[in-house]
Amino acid sequence: AVAEMRRLLGVLGDGEHLRALAPQPGLDDLPELVSSTRVAGLNASILVEGDPVAVSQGLSLCAYRVVQEALTNTLKHAGPTRAEVRLRWREDALELRVSDDGRAAARDLGEPLVGSSGHGITGMRERAALHSGSVEAGAVSDGGFVVRATIPLAAGSVS
């Protein structure tokens, strides 16, 4: 109940009444999100593993926003690259993995990497924590970046 109240206050607090009335995106909207990143210049793909189950709207929105933020960060920081979104449905959790093969040279040039400024990764972690989940993010040794989120299904499943 507290988590739902926080989400409600977040929607009401931003003053955009029309946006609050629009349906919120969710897991079913991820293919469209990935497609729109291709239009923006990111060579992105999506892979779904396992059998999807019905989840709450809140959990669905959480997963969507984590993927959205990770792809946005890739567009902003990785340069010309390829990204992959992977959803893995396990019996007890939904695993999200967004990886790119972005330029390793950004670290050497002193350019900002994902999470070095702003609140993107912190926001992803906070969203996942509302559903007893977690987010790990970091650079890959041979170049690129990966965001991994695990969200338990027990707390968000629809009966």
pLDDT confidence bin for 143, thresholds 50/70/90: confident
Task: Enumerate the β-bridge partners of residue 96.
Answer: 87, 149
CA atoms of 148 and 138, how far apart (whole Å):
9
- Better-scored residue on pLDDT, 64 or 114: 64
| DSSP state letter for 111 | P
Burial class (CB in 10 A: 0-12, 13-18, 19+), 139: middle
pLDDT confidence bin for 113, thresholds 50/70/90: very low
Q: What mean pLDDT do residues 46-62 have?
A: 96
Q: What mean pLDDT do residues 64-80 have?
A: 90
Backbone angles phi, psi at 132, to 5 degrees: 60, 30
